[in-house]
Amino acid sequence: MSSLLSGIRSLSPQSPTDTARRALNDVRLFVPTPLTDALDDLVHAHTPTDRPTPRRDAPTPDAFAGRMHSYEILNQYIVGAQWRALALAAEASILETPADEERTLFKLWTYRILALCSLGHYANAAREIRRLEVATMGASVYEHVHPRSPTIVWPFELRVLRAQVAGLALDDWPTCADRLSSLHRACHRRLARQTDVELNQQRTVRLSFMLATCAVRMRDAQLAVRVMDHLVSEAPTDPRLTSAMARLHLQLGSIREAELQFVKVEQLIPPDDKLARMNRALYAVASGKWEAARDLFHSVAGDVPEEHVCAANNAFVCEVYLGHPQRMLDALQRLMVAAPRAAGASEELVFNYCTGLDLHYDGAKLREEKARKMVDVATWAGDGFNTASFKLQ
Amino acid sequence: MASLMRESHPLTLKVMRLSRPTLADSRALPMDSSTAVLAQALREAEQNRPTASGQIFSDLQLSDAQLPLDAFPLSEALVLPRTFGTMFLGETFSAQMCICNESAFVVRDVAVNVVMQTATQQVPLLDNGATQLAAGQPLNVQVAHEIKELGTHVLGCTITYLSAQGEHRTLQRSFRFQAANPLVVKTKVNHLERDVLLEVQVHNATHATLVLERLRFEPSSPFAAEDLNAPHGDTALLWGGSAGFMQPGDARQYLYRLRAPVASEEASVEQERAVQYATALGKLDILWRGAFGSVGRLQTSQLLRKSPGMFLIEVDKAEIDKTDIAKDPSVTLETPFCVRARVRNVSENAMTILATVDANKHPLVMPCGPTRHDLGDLAVGEAREICLEFLPLAAGVQRFGAMVFVDSVSGYTRELGHLLEVFVA
């Protein structure tokens, strides 16, 4: 750049002096999408060149540019966890949609931001949301400030994503909580006006759970429990909600309180309901009763563990605490083969499996086993798989 | 170069700390269930990833319309510990150890010896008898040790075996970790006549939330402890709900009253000395829980006080002579009242005691009867009661009854600042 121009900053969409509203299909709203996939890179780095590696989609912008992609196609990308393709298809569709079709454009932006978050590109998602905010300045993003806003209304999902991205991108969970609280208040106002009652009731429940998540991330156990208490008080006879409350107490270490809640659940459902057995099993884990926990989890998983992946996984985890890590390894491997998508591509199961490998093997043998597992996972996993699950130091 | 010089062994040793598993975080991004065009697609995707979903399932057909659980922060899947974490005093260190024969040959006479070495002691944890490991076969053992000391701990593992060549060999590995203090306990002792008010402050010195499940004071003789923290014995306010949570850096304060035995005429001088010279108050027993119920327990060493000691002449009882004293402990302005005081010889020799009331020290409650009382001869442990009259001249809470006791045998003198405090109405 010429030295004559140094020190002169051009106006960017983030500049506070730029008050011009951009169209929602303006190309300048987008941040370049990284198209590499960490799992692909890992597989190629750790698999010998003479061994075949699974073919995984490697979408390129050219394959999507210049045309609209239907909602059916976009939804297929969601189901297949093809987040890179979704990000590119949403971008292309946005660019092809007329600027005055704001509802459609916002829906497409929801797909776009969802894809970026699912890929773990939270910083990029935050930047694009910020650009969207500037582009729609004065619109109903800040509904509590402008309750009678002009016609542009961000979809609820996009506003939720905007709140969550603050926490995910910047670890700024207080801001996330503020934004979610603002949405919560807006939903309450609508409920008070008897507008879309069922929808707004669902929304307030979801937002309360998300607020509890923020509280947990902020390490504010008392706030998390208070939020859940409030939810439970509004639906005291729903056993799932009371179970959720109890499990949160278990996670935080409040075992006595968890026990009280589990007892309430047992009064609401039959004793052999799988929810009751799962609760008892989790309580047994927290009490250090590994054999009882394992047997209860097995009773939930039954003869078809691939249909109850969580219960089966939990039963196998108990084997480590019972002194049989090899059993966990063998059982997890069988489960991952039987349910390659639900179990084989599960970050949690892969992590547990690799923990077992770390305990059992060392050196070249350990690397070989992990490389084998990477290939298995890469065959079935979609984009954005968290490769930290393989525990490669 | 260091690695080339290192011996190679057919056996490998791996150790994993067995802290509690936790529920995985739910990673589903929740959407509206009815109006969003992508809601159905997200639900299908969630079914493909059950371990990342916050859904809770029951055999009952419960509608999600009222209660969409897709945003619950925890999934149903347990995840093994991600890191070694921090070890704290009062917790139990437990570990899974895996010794694996990675050679192609049988290894015989494999014996495992594990010790925990601290700054002050070496504690044996495991001494396995000899066993045989086929090629590729693992040997899994578990060890546990309660952490009772701060500072460096070393888990020392020694494996002896007979190699395929018939050679006796030894594989030694050690694993070092630190034990930190999870709770900082501070106490403050306040004296309340014969009793002690003990203030306890407990501070969470970790980086995680703890749940304080129990804090109990176990008094030492001769004290009896009264817990002043739970009104009417209702401990739910202290430990129930979210009350037990201690965030990192939080501090809690508790109060106990330690009651000494009431002084009585029947009590011997030795018993009274045991109370007055007692320095040990008792111990605190604290129980807490971490994530998913991991337990920690600490007991403090004896909490001490500076003993008040005893005078050789004690007034072990002083009360206003009034029939309804329990109901109404006050006296009336400018109306004389009587105080009964019991004076005891708690020295080791007989005494001849003369008691004198100081009329000038508390002018607002004047003595109005005899100010000199000759108690005569008192044997060791013997007590005598005297009756003193006073006239209150000002309303409010007043101290009175400054006295001097003199033993004419030894010349010992004891000055008493005041006998009692009274409310003058």
Q: What percent of chain A has pLDDT over 70?
A: 91
Average pLDDT over residues B31-38: 65
Quickly state the pLDDT bin for A47 (edges 50, 70, 90).
confident
Residue B347: pLDDT over 90: no
A325 contacts on B by Cβ (under 8 Å): 96, 98, 140
B contact residues 60-79, partner A, Cβ 8 Å cutoff: 60, 62, 65-79
What letter would DSSP give residue B373? E
More confident of the two residues B267 and B188? B188
Coil, helix or strand for A41?
helix
Coil, helix or strand for B302?
coil
**pLDDT for B253:** 92
- Give me the total of CB pairs closer than 8 Å, taking one residue from chain A and one from chain B: 271
**Are A206 and B54 inside 8 Å of each other by CB?**
no
Taking each helix axis as running N to C, give the angle between helix A325-338 and helix A309-321, from 0 to 180 degrees, rounded to the nearest 10.
160
Using CB atoms, pick whichever of A117, A314, A365 lies closest to residue B102.
Answer: A365
Q: How many CB atoms lie within 10 A of CB B415?
A: 12
Q: How far is A377 from chain B (nearest CA, A)?
A: 13
Q: Residue written as tokens 């050789």? A: B312
**pLDDT for A152:** 61
Strand partners, B162: B108, B168
Asked if the C-beta of B214 comes within 8 angstroms of chain A's C-beta atoms, the answer is no
Q: Residue written as tokens 């208070």? A: A226
Q: Residue written as tokens 């009329």? A: B359
**Are A210 and B96 inside 8 Å of each other by CB?**
no
**pLDDT for B108:** 93
Q: How far is B348 from chain A (nearest CA, A)?
A: 56
Q: How many CB atoms lie within 10 A of CB B18?
A: 20
B47 contacts on A by Cβ (under 8 Å): 342
**Are B72 and A355 inside 8 Å of each other by CB?**
no
- List pLDDT tens digits, range B213-257: 889 999 998 899 988 887 666 666 666 666 789 999 999 999 999
Closest CA to A23 of A134, A176, A118: A134
| φ, ψ (nearest 5 deg) of residue A156 | -55, -45
Question: Cα dist. A332→A280, A391, B16, B27 in Å?
Answer: 22, 17, 19, 21
- List pLDDT tens digits, range B394-422: 999 999 999 999 999 899 999 999 999 99
**Residues A46, A354: contact at Cβ < 8 Å?**
no
Using CB atoms, pick whichever of A238, A355, A358 lies closest to residue B67.
Answer: A238
A270 contacts on B by Cβ (under 8 Å): 59
B87-88/B168-180 β-pairing: parallel
Q: How far is A148 from chain B (nearest CA, A)?
A: 22
Average pLDDT over residues B306-316: 84
Residue B269: pLDDT over 90: no
* Angstrom distance (rounded) from CA B72 to CA A120: 20
B68 contacts on A by Cβ (under 8 Å): 202, 205-206
**Residues B43, A78: contact at Cβ < 8 Å?**
no
Coil, helix or strand for A16?
coil
**Residues A257, A247: contact at Cβ < 8 Å?**
no
Tell me whether residue A335 is exposed, middle or buried, using C-beta atoms within 10 angstroms of its C-beta: 0 to 12, 13 to 18, 19 or more: buried
Q: What percent of chain B has pLDDT over 70?
A: 91
**pLDDT for A279:** 97
Amino acid at residue number A386? N
**pLDDT for B59:** 81
More confident of the two residues A68 and B241? A68
Chain B: residue whose CA lies nearest to A216: B73
Q: How many CB atoms lie within 10 A of CB A253?
A: 27
Quickly state the pLDDT bin for A1 (edges 50, 70, 90).
very low
Quickly state the pLDDT bin for B264 (edges 50, 70, 90).
low
Record the pTM: 0.84
- List pLDDT tens digits, range A114-135: 999 999 999 999 999 999 988 8
Using CB atoms, pick whichever of B49, B239, B245 lies closest to residue A342.
Answer: B49
- Across chain A, mean pLDDT equals 87
**Residues B200, B284: contact at Cβ < 8 Å?**
yes
Chain A: residue whose CA lies nearest to B246: A221
The two three-digit tokens of residue A298, written as one number: 């097995």
Strand partners, B99: B13, B139
Question: Cα dist. B177→A179, B87, B98, B112, B207 in Å?
Answer: 42, 8, 19, 21, 17
Express the helix, strand and coil content of chain A in percent, nearest 5 each. 65, 0, 35
- List pLDDT tens digits, range A306-361: 999 999 999 999 999 999 999 999 999 999 999 999 999 999 999 999 999 999 99
Question: How far is CA A81 from its chain centroid?
Answer: 12
Sign of CA dihedral A120, A15, A28, A21: positive
Residue A177: pLDDT over 50: yes
Average pLDDT over residues A225-248: 91
Residue B27: pLDDT over 60: yes
Q: Residue written as tokens 């129980």? A: B287
Chain B: residue whose CA lies nearest to A245: B72
Residue A136: pLDDT over 80: yes
**Are A213 and B71 inside 8 Å of each other by CB?**
yes
**Are B16 and A358 inside 8 Å of each other by CB?**
yes
CA dihedral B395, B397, B398, B399 (to 10 degrees): 170
What is the value of ipTM here, to two decimals?
Answer: 0.89
**pLDDT for A9:** 34
**Are B20 and A225 inside 8 Å of each other by CB?**
no
Question: Cα dist. A118→A28, A82, B330 in Å?
Answer: 22, 9, 76
Taking each helix axis as running N to C, give the angle between helix A290-301 and helix A309-321, from 0 to 180 degrees, rounded to the nearest 10.
160
- List pLDDT tens digits, range A80-110: 999 999 999 999 999 999 988 888 999 999 9
Q: How far is B218 from chain A (nearest CA, A)?
A: 23
Contacts of A38 (CB under 8 A, 6+ apart): A385, A387
| Chain A interface mutation, best of B18, B67, B214, B250, highest count of A Cβ atoms under 10 Å | B67
**pLDDT for B222:** 87
Question: How far is CA A272 from its chain centroid?
Answer: 31
Q: How far is B304 from chain A (nearest CA, A)?
A: 32
Amino acid at residue number B368? C
CA dihedral B366, B367, B369, B372 (to 10 degrees): -150
* Angstrom distance (rounded) from CA A294 to CA A284: 9
**Residues A360, B138: contact at Cβ < 8 Å?**
yes
Q: How far is B329 from chain A (nearest CA, A)?
A: 45
Quickly state the pLDDT bin for B48 (edges 50, 70, 90).
confident
* Angstrom distance (rounded) from CA A186 to CA B105: 71
CA dihedral A372, A374, A377, A382 (to 10 degrees): -160
**pLDDT for B131:** 92
**pLDDT for A17:** 39
Strand partners, B404: B356, B415
DSSP conformation letters of B167-194: -EEEEEEEEEEEEE-SEEEEEEEEEETT
**Are A157 and B69 inside 8 Å of each other by CB?**
no
Q: Which residues of A89-120 are buried (b: 16+ CB within 10 A; e: fewer)?
A: bbbbbbbebeeeebebbbbbbbbbbbbbbbbb
Using CB atoms, pick whichever of A251, A257, A310 lies closest to residue B50.
Answer: A310
**Are A256 and B239 inside 8 Å of each other by CB?**
yes
**pLDDT for A255:** 93
**Residues B303, B220: contact at Cβ < 8 Å?**
no
Chain A: residue whose CA lies nearest to B45: A79
**Residues A194, A200: contact at Cβ < 8 Å?**
no
Quickly state the pLDDT bin for B34 (edges 50, 70, 90).
low
- List pLDDT tens digits, range A8-35: 333 334 444 334 567 889 999 999 988 8
* Angstrom distance (rounded) from CA A80 to CA B10: 45
Lowest average pLDDT, out of A162-171, B37-46, B76-85, goes to: B37-46
Average pLDDT over residues A40-58: 80
- Across chain B, mean pLDDT equals 88
Question: Cα dist. B250→B91, B111, B204, B244, B276 in Å?
Answer: 20, 47, 6, 11, 36
Q: Which residues of B326-358 are buried (b: 16+ CB within 10 A; e: fewer)?
A: eeeebbeeeeebebebbbbbbbeeebebbbebb
Average pLDDT over residues B43-50: 85
Quickly state the pLDDT bin for B32 (edges 50, 70, 90).
low
Residue A143: pLDDT over 60: no
Question: How far is CA B117 from its chain centroid?
Answer: 26
In angstroms, the first-to-last Cα distance of chain B is 92
* Angstrom distance (rounded) from CA B124 to CA B74: 40
The two three-digit tokens of residue B259, written as one number: 């009651």
* Angstrom distance (rounded) from CA B309 to CA B305: 11
* Angstrom distance (rounded) from CA B58 to CA A244: 12
Average pLDDT over residues B332-347: 92
Helices (H), A119-172: 122-135, 156-170
Average pLDDT over residues B333-346: 92
CA dihedral A44, A46, A50, A51 (to 10 degrees): -80
Helices and strands in chain B, H and E counts: 4, 30
Question: Cα dist. A305→A210, A277, A342 in Å?
Answer: 30, 15, 11
- List pLDDT tens digits, range B207-218: 999 999 889 999
Express the helix, strand and coil content of chain B in percent, nearest 5 each. 10, 50, 40
